[in-house]
């Protein structure tokens, strides 16, 4: 029976590329994001291997309901990808809009915790793997970057989850890319990573032999 991957932030960019890579590898995919139209288009592309689950990654009830629907539809969840996240329209501690800052922290920090809470009961049954989207910005200090600080949280939380999940045979890791060619970054930066590069790393993490726990994959553009 095909294994199942639950993806947040699945409607575009890294999330959509990971759904495509997983489907090509024979996985079922549960596509969770706010944009119903984009999810339906992606699901049509992937065929019967995809389930559309519309919701907000900061909504605990929506995440729990989506995880339950996914498990019921496919018979379980074998891996999760907590990928939903965003940056700021105007970065900087003083320059940034306070509501924008709060919204980003809620999605990048609380949303990751809520995703883990929703998926862990299902992953415990399958001894599955959870991957979090970190960033190169979560591995070094960047002047005034609140976004970077949220990714430092993700990296720390991934390590803590890995220790928790290994107690029952599960695995957790973080994929940490540099600049990726997605709408997240402004146009014009040359030699970015492609979304499918990150997707390949996620697939490596969730398909690794049971004896191997890949705690982090750090990706940077080779040039630029």
Residues with catalytic function:
147
Which residue's entry shows tokens 């990726």? 180
The helix/strand/coil state of 223 is coil
Provide the H-helix boundaries in 53-179: 60-74, 98-105, 111-126, 146-165
What does the H/E/C string look like for 201-219?
Answer: HHHHHHHCCCCCCCCEEEE
Which residue's entry shows tokens 């074998």? 78
Return the structure tokens found at 200.
Answer: 């390949």
User: What's the gap between Cα 217 and its chain centre?
Assistant: 13
* DSSP classification of residue 34: S
Return the structure tokens found at 25.
Answer: 């590898």
């Amino acid at each position: 029976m095909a294994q199942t991957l639950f993806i947040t932030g699945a409607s575009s960019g890294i999330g959509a590329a990971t759904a495509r890579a997983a489907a090509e590898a024979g996985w079922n995919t549960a596509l969770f994001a706010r944009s119903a139209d984009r999810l339906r288009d992606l699901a049509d592309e992937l065929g019967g291997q995809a389930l559309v689950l519309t919701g907000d990654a900061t909504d605990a009830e929506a995440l729990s309901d989506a995880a339950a629907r996914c498990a019921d539809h496919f018979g379980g969840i074998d891996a999760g990808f907590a990928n939903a996240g965003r940056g700021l329209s105007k970065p900087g501690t003083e320059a940034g809009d306070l509501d924008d800052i709060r919204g980003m922290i809620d999605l990048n920090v609380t949303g990751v915790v809520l995703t883990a809470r929703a998926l862990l009961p299902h992953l415990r049954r399958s001894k599955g793997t959870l991957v979090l989207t970190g960033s190169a910005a979560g591995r070094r200090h960047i002047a005034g970057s609140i976004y970077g600080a949220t990714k430092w949280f993700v990296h720390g939380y991934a390590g803590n989850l890995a220790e928790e999940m290994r107690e029952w045979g599960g695995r957790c890791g973080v994929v940490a890319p540099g600049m990726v060619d997605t709408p997240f970054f402004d146009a014009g930066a040359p030699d970015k990573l492609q979304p499918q590069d990150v997707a390949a790393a996620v697939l490596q993490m969730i398909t690794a032999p049971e004896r191997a726990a890949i705690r982090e994959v750090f990706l940077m553009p080779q040039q630029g």
